[in-house]
Amino acid sequence: MRYARQTMEFWDSIITGIWNGIIQFILAVVLWFMLLGWIIHLWSVIDAAKFYERENR
């Protein structure tokens, strides 16, 4: 049962990461047309910092 839970957590994190990436990409394209692409850049930097902190505990 423990293996199944770990597998589900793995796939849940993969799917969440993919959706986060898709949303960031779409918003980046839209906002670059309005010259606000730097907002997505900051969001990506903060997201990467949170991921790095979580992975290196």
34 within some domain: yes
User: What pLDDT is stored for residue 57 in this prediction?
Assistant: 67
39 within some domain: yes
Residue 19 to residue 17: CA distance in whole angstroms: 5
pTM, to two decimals: 0.53
Confidence band of 1 (pLDDT split at 50, 70, 90):
low
47 within some domain: yes
Percent composition of the chain: helix, strand, coil (DSSP 3-state, to 5): 90, 0, 10
Domain that holds residue 36: 22-57
8 within some domain: no
Q: Cβ distance 27 to 40 under 8 Å?
A: yes
Q: Quote the number of domains for the chain.
A: 1
- Condensed to tens digits (0 to 9), the pLDDT of residues 6-43 reads 777 777 777 877 888 888 888 888 877 777 777 878 88
Cβ count within 10 A of residue 20: 14
7 within some domain: no
14 within some domain: no
Identify the DSSP state of 35.
Answer: T
13 within some domain: no
